[in-house]
A = this chain, B = another copy of it.
Amino acid sequence: MASIQHIHQYLDDHLDESLAELMTYCAQPSVAASGEGIPACAELTGAMLRRRGFEVELIETGGSPVVYGYRPGRSEKTLLFYNHYDVQPPDPLDLWVSPPFEPEIRDSKMYARGVSDDKGHVVSRLFALDALLAEDGELPCGVKFLIEGEEEISSPHLGPVIRENLEKFAADACIWEFGGVNHEESPGLTLGMRGICYVELSVETASQDAHSGLGGSIFPNAAWRLVWALRSIKGSDGRVQIPGFYDNIRPPTGRDRAMLAALPPRIDDLRGRYGVKSFLGGTEHELELRIKEVFEPSATICGLDAGYQGKGSKTVLPHRASAKMDFRLVPDQRPEDIFEKLRRHLDAEGFEDVHLHYHGGTTPARSDPDDPFFKLVVDAAEPIYGKPVVVEPIIGGSGPSSFFIHDLGLPVATSGVGHPGTQAHAPNENLRIDLYLKGARHAANILKAFGET
């Protein structure tokens, strides 16, 4: 078996080839929200796995197919990589320096929609496999990939696919789709994720728009109805006003608080990066902000749409208006329960006319921090990053980790190529090349250690 030095040497020597593969992958649009490029990207993902000797299956879901791949290894143990090939919509297009689906390297970064979230993660892991296969001719352990195509729209079909294929996806541990360094260049490990409930509110007050001079004083206005309904959900004090919204919430334990307290300060970093002048609730205290970020559920307006939005003015009374919203949930809130409570709340407040569409949801979930897999992932990271791993009990983002933690019974660890300036979900999404290489090294170290213990 090749030494880890040989493996790393292979990665150094073949970086350009891997980056070329990543550019090809990112040039293929795969926007789950609109469906753009999804079938082609699923095929491409399958082909990339087959090239590495994986047995591949594209599992139909009713939405984007799930790409499944399996290649046995030296050890009986199996590591499951969960990733996704879909990306966020690229809008607003005018804020991109280079076009989102024309990957470009500049200043030691690759820029493209999806280059970090999540295609860089996919290809960096394949790159680690390439090194192990080139040096040893086989993998140190069995490897499975579950690469879905609807992560960015809250994975509406993943739960049934996993629950109907528990044996196929059976493994001993799971590496999650993301990971990377924080703003101090320390690698991170996250043990859990908030859930999400994504909804769209829409109102229609008439069969067509009207002249505002005619209708202003006498016609209902869909935009006003929407504004009032939204205001009934959350007031300017930041408190969600849906009855029962804060039920079933487990406060952070002492250990949770200790883990959060050990995280580096970053208020200044967030201020600089996002240009945020003040934080919600006026919090200026590092630990308080950390607790608020991940242990408090949130209600976010993601988009508002009504009437005329072009240049200048148009005196129109809109007959339709809509808002996209996400609720980030903490254990033990459940998206289906929040959706029902929201509907009941709107009805009770007189907003029966506000239609609710459920775009999808995931349940919050946390791994057991004492599982030995986490020590393995941490030990595999520190020689590469030269810094201790920062462990977070739960993070603010969401993903379908509940299916892996609760349904497949796996410890789920994070590892990857991300950094805080990655601009995931925003224009100019990017990947730092140095971290791409480190992420591949970490994956190789994990696979080797996992197979050998």
Which residues of A line the B interface, CB within 8 A? 32-35, 88-89, 91, 152-154, 194, 196, 198, 200, 205-221, 223-224, 226-228, 230-231, 234-236, 270, 274-280, 283, 289, 292-294, 296-319, 321-324, 326, 328, 350, 359-360, 395-398, 423-427
With both beta carbons as reference points, the residue of chain B lying nearest to A267 in the complex is identified as B218
- The number of times this chain is found in the oligomer is 2
Chain B contacts for A321, CB-based, 8 A: 304
Chain B contacts for A274, CB-based, 8 A: 206-208, 210, 215, 219, 319
Chain B contacts for A303, CB-based, 8 A: 223, 306-309, 314, 316, 318
Chain B contacts for A91, CB-based, 8 A: 308, 310, 314
Chain B contacts for A278, CB-based, 8 A: 220
The reply to whether B154 and A208 contact each other, CB–CB distance below 8 Å, is no
What are the nearest 6 A-B pairs in CB distance? A207-B275, A213-B397, A216-B298, A33-B312, A303-B307, A223-B301
Select A312's contact among B220, B277, B359, beta carbons within 8 Å.
B359
Chain B contacts for A308, CB-based, 8 A: 89, 91, 302-303, 324
CB distance from A306 to the nearest CB of B (A): 4
- What are some 11 contacts across the A-B interface (CB < 8 A)? A33-B310, A152-B314, A152-B315, A208-B423, A208-B426, A210-B274, A216-B396, A226-B304, A303-B309, A305-B305, A309-B324
CB distance from A102 to the nearest CB of B (A): 20
Select A208's contact among B209, B235, B275, B324, beta carbons within 8 Å.
B275
CB distance from A190 to the nearest CB of B (A): 11
